[in-house]
Chain A
Amino acid sequence: MSFKRILITLLCVSILPLAFSCAGKKGDTIKIGALFAVTGPASFLGAPEEKTARMMVEGINAAGGIDGRKLELIVKDTAGSPEKAISFAKQLIEEDKVFAIIGPSTSGETMKIKSICEEGKTILISCAAAEVIVNPVSKYVFKVAQNDSDAAQMICDVMKKKNITGIGLVSSNDGYGAAGKEQMEKVAARNGIKVLISEVYDKKDTDLMGVLTKVKAMNVQAVVNWSIVPAQSIIPKNMKQLNMNMPLFQSSGFGNIKYVKEAGAAGEGIIFPCGRLLIADALSDTHPQKAVLMKYKKDYESKYKEDASTFGGHAYDAILVLTEAIKKAGMDREKARDALENLKGVPGIAGVFNFSEKDHLGLDINAFDMLTVKDGKFVPYEKK
């Protein structure tokens, strides 16, 4: 057989089951598109998100689906690239005709596909943090990750208690870093804290001695790093190596125990705002989130044999609020959107969600707690 014929035969064989599966499932399932940065520099977000989403969909389907309809999750790996996110979003809306899209993992990607979802009248529930995603409000765009301005405010509160007035700010050159930098500068100014130096580094940078030398020369009282990339564990190491012993604050992007392990001894004492998943054990039993947090943690950790992270939690929340809305409104996309906008008091991983017409996030500053690292573990930061 010639090579060409082998190729054609292979092609036919590979397409065949696809054709069958389409015919069999059509009409019975609820298609949910998912854009996650499963690989690439933001894989710390995307990988647990993807695993969580798959686990949840399996769980919901095993329990009979929603009103007898099974969920069908179509995951696309954007590798953290906004360009890929755009083409996948178009594909999900136009070809797969999904009911809603969850993700993307990063703020930069979300901002790029916002208008595509608006035009396609497809609900988008982003797992990224930047406030600009839902402010100003777009009709079909929601998000489930806490606001970066609230995180910045939490950081400033601690600084004021520590009498810190001059800080150095470093951030990564991606959407998350840029949005955080803007918020941190704004919120710091409002709280009377001076940002003495603000530096941006490449999201793939692996050595930050140079930029920290520059920060050190400004005699700052504390350093704030705003990023989601591995640099989060390089900065504490480089600071200690440069003999910089002032406190280091990080964004909620630090909420992954892997970063603590990578930073090793240098990670001790890092202060950062984060959702409550990481300290779920320490919550009182009456806390509204306690049950859902403990269940998610247990399910995830027993299934995947790795620590649950707040980022995976965003995927949990996205599917949670979406399925709640579908349960209320049924399969009509417009009605589901309205129902989502009116969801109140839904306890999720990031916090208790209260959406409204003006608030497509549904979380406030109470969704955060300040955490710190002690003996290689996350513990609540005692307010001194």
Chain B
Amino acid sequence: MSLEQVLQYILSGVTNGSIYAIVAIGFNIIYNTTGIINFAQGEFLMLGGMTAISLAAFVPLPLAILAAVVITAIIGALVDFVFIRRLKTPSVLNMIIVTIGLSIVIREIALHVWDEKVRSLPYFTGSEVTSVSILGAYISPQVLWVLGIAAVIVVFLGFFFKFTLTGRSMRACAANMTAAKLCGINTGAMVTVSFMLSAAIGALAGCAISPITQTQYDCGTPLAIKGFTVAILGGLGNSTGAVVGGMVVGMLEAFSISVLPLAYKDAIAITILLLILFVKPSGLLGKKEAAGLKEF
């Protein structure tokens, strides 16, 4: 394998890895405050992408993306208001099943609101044929956008959870829901915020990847499965873990292509998931004690 090729695979791995990482971070935010896995996370990406594409026909691209993020965040809040809060027995299992149902419902609604056709946002800079050369390897400028947005999201979340009152309250919920409530934190509101935040991040990611992967009503599910794998790999609830996990899966997938037929790519991700569940169920960076506190 030539150096160029190695570099090309690394870039391809980093691109996919950062997409997986963003999805995994979305899982983590909700997991931290509620202890559940939101299986509709992939649908947030799809909704963000689709909404932005529809709006981009009327308003400039940045505005369309911003509006799509806001709209998806509102949908995220509605999911909490309408479904999660109203559960009579809000056990973790019940809530997870609700999110699975929601993902199917959102997909079907999207099929009717839009249609079955594939759409995509225009490239943020350049066009379909623009390519940037890095030491002999070539990538689309959009890849740099995805990487940049992923980095911004990770840094922003780091600050948010460390230095803002809301962020710290959410972490308190993550540590112990009852204790947080006793300290006067409005835990219900925190759950809503977590749904909004992960929906917004999902929507932003959905817009960023749309020019590369194209958006279709059912494009969320495969992404959610990969993101879930990555979240488990990195340690559920751990954002740094999500980035590390994303890069590991992305790289392994990219390099597996060089030796194995491409069709085995997904098998690699699932194999990793199984290995992790057998060998280190708390994930690469997850702590056993922290995992022990959660029901799931």
Stretch in contact with the other chain, from B112-120, B186-194, B234-242, B273-281 = B112-120
B1-24 toward A: CB 8 Å interface, digit per residue (1/0)? 110010011011001100000000
Distance A211 CA – B264 CA, assembled complex (angstroms)? 12
Distance A47 CA – B261 CA, assembled complex (angstroms)? 31
Which residues of B are found within 8 Å of A200, using beta-carbon distances? 261-263
B168-181 toward A: CB 8 Å interface, digit per residue (1/0)? 00000000000000
Question: A206-B212, A217-B2 are known contacts. Are A230 and B118 too (CB-CB below 8 A)?
Answer: yes
CB distance from B291 to the nearest CB of A (A): 32
A205-217 toward B: CB 8 Å interface, digit per residue (1/0)? 1111111011001
Whether B16 pairs with A207 at a CB distance below 8 angstroms is yes
Which residues of B are found within 8 Å of A267, using beta-carbon distances? 128
Asked if A365 lies at the interface with its beta carbon under 8 angstroms from chain B, I say no
Question: A210-B257, A262-B118 are known contacts. Are A230 and B131 too (CB-CB below 8 A)?
Answer: no
Asked if B222 lies at the interface with its beta carbon under 8 angstroms from chain A, I say yes
Distance A201 CA – B111 CA, assembled complex (angstroms)? 25
Which residues of A are found within 8 Å of B166, using beta-carbon distances? none
How many B residues have CB within 8 A of the partner chain?
Answer: 42
A250-283 toward B: CB 8 Å interface, digit per residue (1/0)? 0000000010001111110000000000000000
Question: A240-B129, A243-B133, A265-B127 are known contacts. Are A210 and B262 too (CB-CB below 8 A)?
Answer: yes
Which residues of A are found within 8 Å of B131, using beta-carbon distances? 240-243
Which residue of A199, A230, A236, A262 contacts B261 across the interface (Cβ within 8 Å)?
A199
Whether B218 pairs with A40 at a CB distance below 8 angstroms is yes
Asked if B294 lies at the interface with its beta carbon under 8 angstroms from chain A, I say no
Distance A243 CA – B133 CA, assembled complex (angstroms)? 9
Distance A240 CA – B127 CA, assembled complex (angstroms)? 10
Whether A199 pairs with B222 at a CB distance below 8 angstroms is no
Distance A200 CA – B128 CA, assembled complex (angstroms)? 23
Whether B140 pairs with A213 at a CB distance below 8 angstroms is no
Name the CB-closest residue of B to A213: B8
Which residues of A are found within 8 Å of B263, using beta-carbon distances? 173, 200-202
Name the CB-closest residue of A to B140: A241
How many A residues have CB within 8 A of the partner chain?
Answer: 38
Which residue of A47, A202, A206, A211 contacts B115 across the interface (Cβ within 8 Å)?
A47
Which residues of A are found within 8 Å of B116, using beta-carbon distances? 38-40, 43, 47
Which residues of A are found within 8 Å of B128, using beta-carbon distances? 236-237, 240-241, 263-267
Asked if B214 lies at the interface with its beta carbon under 8 angstroms from chain A, I say yes
Asked if A225 lies at the interface with its beta carbon under 8 angstroms from chain B, I say no
Whether B262 pairs with A213 at a CB distance below 8 angstroms is no
Asked if B271 lies at the interface with its beta carbon under 8 angstroms from chain A, I say no
Which residue of B16, B118, B262 contacts A201 across the interface (Cβ within 8 Å)?
B262
Question: A201-B262, A230-B214 are known contacts. Are A213 and B12 too (CB-CB below 8 A)?
Answer: yes
CB distance from A168 to the nearest CB of B (A): 13
CB distance from B207 to the nearest CB of A (A): 15
Name the CB-closest residue of B to A47: B116
Whether A209 pairs with B127 at a CB distance below 8 angstroms is no
Which residues of A are found within 8 Å of B284, using beta-carbon distances? none
Asked if A73 lies at the interface with its beta carbon under 8 angstroms from chain B, I say no
Majority secondary structure, B binding face: mixed
CB distance from B59 to the nearest CB of A (A): 20
Whether B120 pairs with A210 at a CB distance below 8 angstroms is no
Question: A202-B265, A209-B15, A230-B216 are known contacts. Are A266 and B129 too (CB-CB below 8 A)?
Answer: yes
CB distance from B86 to the nearest CB of A (A): 17
Which residues of A are found within 8 Å of B219, using beta-carbon distances? 206
CB distance from A38 to the nearest CB of B (A): 7
Which residues of A are found within 8 Å of B1, using beta-carbon distances? 217
B113-150 toward A: CB 8 Å interface, digit per residue (1/0)? 00111111000000111110100001110000000000
Asked if A221 lies at the interface with its beta carbon under 8 angstroms from chain B, I say no
Whether B257 pairs with A214 at a CB distance below 8 angstroms is yes
Question: A214-B257, A264-B127 are known contacts. Are A39 and B111 too (CB-CB below 8 A)?
Answer: yes
Whether B5 pairs with A213 at a CB distance below 8 angstroms is yes
CB distance from B230 to the nearest CB of A (A): 16
Distance A39 CA – B119 CA, assembled complex (angstroms)? 15
Whether A206 pairs with B15 at a CB distance below 8 angstroms is no
Asked if B73 lies at the interface with its beta carbon under 8 angstroms from chain A, I say no
Question: A200-B263, A207-B213 are known contacts. Are A243 and B138 too (CB-CB below 8 A)?
Answer: yes
CB distance from B42 to the nearest CB of A (A): 13
Distance A265 CA – B131 CA, assembled complex (angstroms)? 13
Asked if A234 lies at the interface with its beta carbon under 8 angstroms from chain B, I say yes
Distance A43 CA – B119 CA, assembled complex (angstroms)? 13
Asked if B254 lies at the interface with its beta carbon under 8 angstroms from chain A, I say yes
Distance A207 CA – B17 CA, assembled complex (angstroms)? 12
Asked if A227 lies at the interface with its beta carbon under 8 angstroms from chain B, I say no
Whether B254 pairs with A210 at a CB distance below 8 angstroms is yes
Distance A367 CA – B115 CA, assembled complex (angstroms)? 31
Question: A200-B262, A217-B2, A265-B127 are known contacts. Are A207 and B120 too (CB-CB below 8 A)?
Answer: no
Which residues of B are found within 8 Å of A149, using beta-carbon distances? none
Which residues of B are found within 8 Å of A202, using beta-carbon distances? 262-263, 265-266
The 9 closest A-B pairs by CB, nearest first: A206-B213, A43-B116, A266-B128, A210-B257, A264-B128, A240-B129, A241-B140, A241-B131, A230-B118
B residues lining the A interface (CB < 8 Å): 1-2, 5, 8-9, 11-12, 15-16, 111, 115-120, 127-131, 133, 138-140, 212-214, 216-219, 222, 253-254, 257-258, 261-263, 265-266
**28 interchain pairs (CB within 8 A)?**
A44-B117, A44-B118, A47-B116, A47-B117, A173-B263, A200-B261, A202-B265, A207-B15, A207-B16, A207-B212, A209-B8, A209-B15, A210-B12, A211-B257, A211-B262, A213-B5, A213-B12, A230-B214, A234-B213, A236-B128, A241-B129, A241-B130, A241-B131, A243-B138, A262-B120, A265-B127, A265-B128, A266-B128
- Knowing that A202-B266, A208-B262, A214-B258 touch, tell me 12 more A-B residue pairs with CB under 8 angstroms: A44-B118, A205-B265, A209-B8, A209-B12, A210-B253, A210-B258, A214-B257, A230-B216, A233-B118, A233-B214, A241-B128, A266-B129
